[in-house]
Amino acid sequence: MTTVHRTCPLCEAVCGLTLTLDDGGHVTGVRGDKDDPFSKGFICPKGASLGHLDEDPDRLSKPLVREGDQWREVSWDEAFATVARALEGVRDRQTIAVYLGNPGAHTMAGALYTAPLIRALGTRNVFSASTADQMPKHVASGLMFGHPLHIPVPDLDRTDYLLMLGANPLESNGSLCTAPDFPGRLKAIRRRGGKVVVVDPRRTRTAAQADEHVFVRPGSDAYLLFGLVHTLFAEQLTSVSVEVNGLEEVREAAKHFPPEVVARRTGVPEETIVRLARELAAAPTAAVYARIGTCTQEFGTLAQWLVDVLNTLTGNLDRPGGAMFPMPATEPPRSRRPYTTGRWKSRVRGLPEANGELPVATLADEIETPGEGQVRFLVTVAGNPVLSAPNGSRLDEAFGQLDFMVSVDPYLNETTRHANVILPPPRVLQSGHYDFALLGFAVRNYTRYSPPALPLGERPSESEIMARLAMIASGLEGDLDEFIIDQTLQKAGVELQLTGETGAERRLDMMLKLGPYGLSLEKLRENPHGLDLGALEPRLPGILRTASGLVELAPPQLMEDVERLRERLDQAPPEMVLIGRRHLRSNNSWMHNVGTLVGGSNRCTLQINPADVARLGLEQQAVITSATGRLTVTLEPTDTIMAGVVSLPHGWGHAGSAQAVAAEHAGVSANVLTDDSAIDIPSGNAVFNGVPVTIASL
Ligand SMILES: Nc1nc2c(c(=O)[nH]1)N[C@H]1C(S)=C(S)[C@@H](COP(=O)(O)OP(=O)(O)OC[C@H]3O[C@@H](n4cnc5c(=O)[nH]c(N)nc54)[C@H](O)[C@@H]3O)O[C@H]1N2
Ligand SMILES: Nc1nc2c(c(=O)[nH]1)N[C@H]1C(S)=C(S)[C@@H](COP(=O)(O)OP(=O)(O)OC[C@H]3O[C@@H](n4cnc5c(=O)[nH]c(N)nc54)[C@H](O)[C@@H]3O)O[C@H]1N2
Ligand code: SF4
Ligand SMILES: [Mo]
């Protein structure tokens, strides 16, 4: 028996786990790591199932090559040679597209090798789960603070007042706010006399545990937030404590959104809007935090922007207890190159790039539409867009038309079944782990490295898979990591002695040594439970990268979109709209093959208000129809959801899956119903919430 300590890679909470392994490397127990200074022993059912997930018999252990509809296990050399041959036949690199999925934000391979792979492929057709998720936050932060990764997080442990919109951390365990035991941290706010307010079209578990829950019509958060901004100005409650540009423009814009007017559109009573604004202003410290429910909607970027406008207007930006900028241990120095979007546009719909990516909502267009630059070759890494992207069924068909597709993924699933070659990464326990991405959003500065707990044997690490793909695509020979290390050190003008058993470890060591705390891999190895680097500290104006050197409160692109918001104000909202939801024992599309996680509350049902069931005369099963598709769904009547709103979790729809357990719990895919023609304009983000639908008896 051995005991290993490592970070759980299954969600953004970065909990420390203590695992026991038998001599064969099988996980015999998983506990929360009590000595982790950040998670302090917290664990959720997913973390506790890490062993089952890691040893899932349906995980691929060898590369697969598809011949027609037959799959053949091949050697790694043969798999890579197949990819190399296919790439040789590509004359125009712009016909290659890349899709990067969510787990890539949780792996070292994703953090370290994605950019080199994209560069080596030489295409601008880069798509990812980010445009089905948080791109609005990147764009809003980029425009306001000058860098898309300078995202303020609520200072959960010190705040007196938390206004939370479109987030359900009791199920999700938090997002763009890395906070192990988010539920406990919320309870602590109330215990110390603070207040938690949740704004959500559903009375979620998080809402039920808060001081106050406010129902809001899906997709209308920007109106609600503008109503709060309006009230702060009207009642002279603003107290801006950082240097800003554009205060007058915001004041002018907010005049169009008085509480009595936005109340109609949002369903939030005027008195509530006014009171919330007063409470925010009066609280000793307060933070507004808004997550996926407010990103994946028609006005996602405006909502994200208004969140930080509110934090700024109430004097809470960059102060303890407010919304603060973390300082991760691997943060690189950032040049002052003001943030822009639209440096290039998508070929078919002319949609602007953001963060070097095009909207996943237009990936099918790029594959289906003939002409120069039509996508014929696809690389997917850690993604399942057939289930996760808007109008996924259209993508399903489009993928079938490609000339060649290669997927880096541990499973044969709804997306990778279209691949010609699947390259499976090893088990979690065979992989080193460092949360490059998520530690940048942590509510305490903290760091931890988990070395591989089990040997790799004959198979390559995911880092090696990605590096080898990049080398094949670039046509160069040599060691990619050493090349990157040389380049980075040269640019930084320093010489460093690096340690590490792999290229990935050496690069981590370099980034730690160049980082703001001057740490090293060795230091992290000496602290296997992680290192607390202290509470968040004010970082303005130092980290601002705007041209003005100020916080830009009224970026022109966003003020332009405010016009669109104004135009929509008087439009009658659809009678019935669809939103999503998450379950604690699930994660997007890929944890439905573990018996201990599926079933119970983790089921694919359509939540609907009993009043709507009665009004429409529905039975247990019903047909739901949108502009793009229709599904037969099982109803779950509940008064926890607003009338006129229905909720279906995404990531289901595993009928016929090669994954035995998932196929038994197939469910249906919400993204048959979501519409890829609808996007949030400034960011290109997909719209999953507020999708117009009709519901009828079978
Ligand atoms: N309707 C609706 N749709 C949504 C959302 C919603 O709220 N509603 N949410 C959106 C959000 S927030 C996101 S992030 C996206 C997610 O979108 P995706 O990332 O496309 O989907 P996932 O289901 O997370 O798929 C993850 C894939 O990674 C594979 N995988 C797991 N671990 C690893 C690993 O270590 N390495 C590699 N290479 N692969 C791995 C899995 O087998 C699976 O194929 O979905 C979006 N889609
Ligand atoms: N257990 C579990 N954990 C996860 C995941 C998972 O699938 N399962 N996915 C991970 C990923 S990829 C992400 S991005 C994070 C997301 O983390 P969260 O943002 O916390 O995600 P959700 O739990 O979906 O909460 C979103 C809430 O928004 C509400 N909502 C829907 N539409 C609107 C709207 O128009 N306005 C407002 N105000 N609210 C709305 C929904 O009812 C829901 O309660 O979770 C991560 N953690
Ligand atoms: S909350 Fe997230 S990181 Fe923590 S144990 Fe659960 S899945 Fe893992
Ligand atoms: Mo996500």
Give the integer Cα–Cα distance in Å for 92 and 71. Answer: 29
Question: Is the same domain home to 199 and 317?
Answer: yes
692 prior amide bond cis, ω within 30: no
Strand, coil or helix: 504: helix
Question: Is the same domain home to 209 and 311?
Answer: yes
CATH number of the domain within which 673 lies: 2.40.40.20
Q: Is the pLDDT of residue 602 over 90?
A: no
Q: C-alpha distances in angstroms, 303 versus 28, 147, 467, 523, 636? A: 45, 18, 38, 41, 30
User: How many angstroms is it from 320 CA to the middle of ligand 1?
Assistant: 34
Give the integer Cα–Cα distance in Å for 471 and 468. Answer: 5
Domain assignment present for residue 252? The answer is: yes
Answer yes or no: are the C-beta atoms of 394 and 628 closer than 8 Å. Answer: yes
CATH number of the domain within which 169 lies: 3.40.228.10
User: How many angstroms is it from 604 CA to the middle of ligand 1?
Assistant: 17
Give the integer Cα–Cα distance in Å for 642 and 607. Answer: 10
Nearest CA to ligand 1 atom 40: 382
The pLDDT tens digits for 281-302 are 999 999 999 999 999 999 999 9
Nearest CA to ligand 1 atom 30: 382
User: How many angstroms is it from 588 CA to the middle of ligand 4?
Assistant: 8
**Ligand 1 binding site (Cβ under 6 Å of any ligand atom):** 101-103, 107, 129, 132-133, 292, 296, 381-385, 388, 408-411, 413, 425, 462, 580, 588-590, 650-651, 670-671, 674, 688
Q: What value does the mean pLDDT take over residues 608-622?
A: 97
Domain assignment present for residue 558? The answer is: yes
The pLDDT tens digits for 321-377 are 999 999 999 999 888 888 999 999 999 999 999 999 999 999 999 999 999 999 999
User: How many angstroms is it from 202 CA to the middle of ligand 4?
Assistant: 19
CA 416 to ligand 1: nearest atom:
44
Question: What ligand is nearest to the CA atom of residue 218?
Answer: 2
The pLDDT tens digits for 670-682 are 999 999 999 999 9
CA 43 to ligand 3: nearest atom:
5
For 374-503, strand residue ranges (E) read 377-381, 404-408, 421-423, 444-447
Q: What value does the mean pLDDT take over residues 217-244?
A: 98
Question: Is the same domain home to 611 and 561?
Answer: no
Question: Is the same domain home to 288 and 313?
Answer: yes
Domain assignment present for residue 377? The answer is: no
DSSP conformation class of 573: P
User: Across the strands, what pairs with 93?
Assistant: none
User: How many angstroms is it from 649 CA to the middle of ligand 2?
Assistant: 10
Q: Which of 12, 44, 583 to mutate to test the pocket of ligand 3 (most atoms within 8 A of CB)?
A: 44
CA 182 to ligand 3: nearest atom:
1
Question: Is the same domain home to 693 and 587?
Answer: yes
Question: What ligand is nearest to the CA atom of residue 213?
Answer: 2
Question: Is the same domain home to 624 and 553?
Answer: no
H/E stretch holding 397 reads helix 392-399
Which residues crowd ion ligand 4, with CB under 5 Å? 133
The pLDDT tens digits for 428-460 are 999 999 999 999 999 999 999 999 999 999 999
504 lines ligand 3 (CB under 6 A): no
| Residues 6 or more apart whose Cβ sits within 8 Å of residue 683 | 131, 135, 136, 138, 139, 300, 301, 341, 354, 359
Q: What value does the mean pLDDT take over residues 583-588?
A: 96
Q: What's the whole-number average pLDDT of the chain? A: 97
CA 14 to ligand 3: nearest atom:
3
Domain assignment present for residue 434? The answer is: no
Answer yes or no: are the C-beta atoms of 592 and 621 closer than 8 Å. Answer: no
Domain assignment present for residue 422? The answer is: no
Question: Is the same domain home to 552 and 662?
Answer: no
User: How many angstroms is it from 45 CA to the middle of ligand 3?
Assistant: 8
Question: Is the same domain home to 152 and 234?
Answer: yes
Helix, strand and coil in the chain, % to nearest 5: 35, 20, 45
**Span between the terminal Cα atoms of the chain, in Å:** 55
Q: C-alpha distances in angstroms, 527 versus 435, 448, 519? A: 16, 8, 12
Instruction: For residue 636, report the phi and psi dihedrals to the nearest 5 degrees.
Output: -125, 90
Domain assignment present for residue 648? The answer is: yes
Nearest in space to 288 (alpha carbons), one of 209, 199, 171: 199
The pLDDT tens digits for 365-416 are 999 999 999 999 999 999 999 999 999 999 999 999 999 999 999 999 999 9
The pLDDT score that the predictor gives to residue 21 is 97
Domain assignment present for residue 636? The answer is: yes
Question: Is the same domain home to 555 and 692?
Answer: no
Q: How many domains does the chain have?
A: 2
- What is the span of the domain harbouring residue 601? 577-697
Question: Is the same domain home to 314 and 172?
Answer: yes
Q: What is the widest separation between alpha-carbon atoms in the chain?
A: 73
DSSP, residue by residue, 310-359: HHHHTT-BTSTTSEE----TTPPP-------S-SSB-TTT-PBPBTTB--
User: How many angstroms is it from 308 CA to the middle of ligand 2?
Assistant: 19
Domain assignment present for residue 68? The answer is: no
Question: Is the same domain home to 636 and 553?
Answer: no
Question: Is the same domain home to 185 and 273?
Answer: yes
Q: What value does the mean pLDDT take over residues 181-185?
A: 98
Answer yes or no: are the C-beta atoms of 624 and 646 closer than 8 Å. Answer: yes
507, 534, 567 - which closes a domain: 567
